[in-house]
Amino acid sequence: MRQMRLLSNQDIRPKLSEIKARSFGGVSLKKRRKVKRPLQPGRVHHVVFKSSKAKGKLSFYAHRLTVQRLLQQKARKFFVEIKDFVNMGNHLHLKVKFRDALRFQQFLKSFSALLAREITGARKGKPFGKFWDGLVFTRVLMSRFEELSLRGYFTGNHLQREIGYREREEYLKKWNQFLYRLRQKRGTPAR
């Protein structure tokens, strides 16, 4: 019942074209690099940093203290509020809120560069090469329903990290059924 109160009347499930218009980055962005990153100060954003090379000793999880330290430092410096984050070893999920788009872009650039440098040990005269799979993925969350959905996804990823993949899948199946029933009660059409 508590989740029902979190949702507002503006909660309408977005169409795929709207999602693409609110998303930017990731490995699938090849020919659209010059398109402006859609950012909306004051709204919650889902951010993903991904690297296929982050395995074993280069894993984000192996460097979890460094990740947390840099995340806190850069968030404080650029006035970015980290609402939640999940370290999955080869990628990081963040749920963030900010007031200034330029500072947020500086945060993305600074955090990704310093993190790659600290993990790989790269420095002047000792390059590592390309570390990130693509541009940082960002997505604007437009409704409380999307925030609720992301909360479940983050919880599932935490479960995978702590218990295992099968438990994550079972949790997400139940969570998605809950979201489906919630949409049905509110009269929002399901896809």
Give the pair of three-digit tokens for residue 115: 């993190």
In this structure, the answer to whether residues 113 and 103 fall within a common structural domain is yes
Percent of the chain with pLDDT over 90: 38
pLDDT at 109: 94
In this structure, the answer to whether residues 61 and 98 fall within a common structural domain is yes
Residue 139, C-beta contacts closer than 8 angstroms, at least 6 positions apart:
19, 22, 23, 24, 45, 46, 47
Give the pair of three-digit tokens for residue 106: 């500086």
Q: At what angle do helices 165-186 and 144-162 cross, to 10 degrees?
A: 160
Q: Count the domains in the chain.
A: 2
Q: Which domain holds residue 175?
A: 1-11+142-191
In a domain, 18, yes or no: no
Of 92, 94, 97, the closest CA to residue 81 belongs to: 97
In this structure, the answer to whether residues 102 and 166 fall within a common structural domain is no
Q: Residue 64 sits in a domain of what CATH number? A: 3.30.70.1290
In this structure, the answer to whether residues 162 and 76 fall within a common structural domain is no
In this structure, the answer to whether residues 33 and 112 fall within a common structural domain is yes
pLDDT at 29: 53
In this structure, the answer to whether residues 102 and 29 fall within a common structural domain is yes
C-alpha R_g of the chain: 18
pLDDT at 5: 41
pLDDT single digits (tens) 19-39: 446 767 665 555 555 677 888
Of 151, 168, 173, the closest CA to residue 2 belongs to: 151
Does residue 9 register a pLDDT over 50?
Answer: no
CA separation, residue 190 to residues 14, 47, 108, 156, 164 (Å): 11, 25, 34, 22, 29
In this structure, the answer to whether residues 49 and 98 fall within a common structural domain is yes
In a domain, 99, yes or no: yes
In this structure, the answer to whether residues 57 and 116 fall within a common structural domain is yes
The model's confidence at residue 159, banded by pLDDT at 50, 70 and 90, is confident
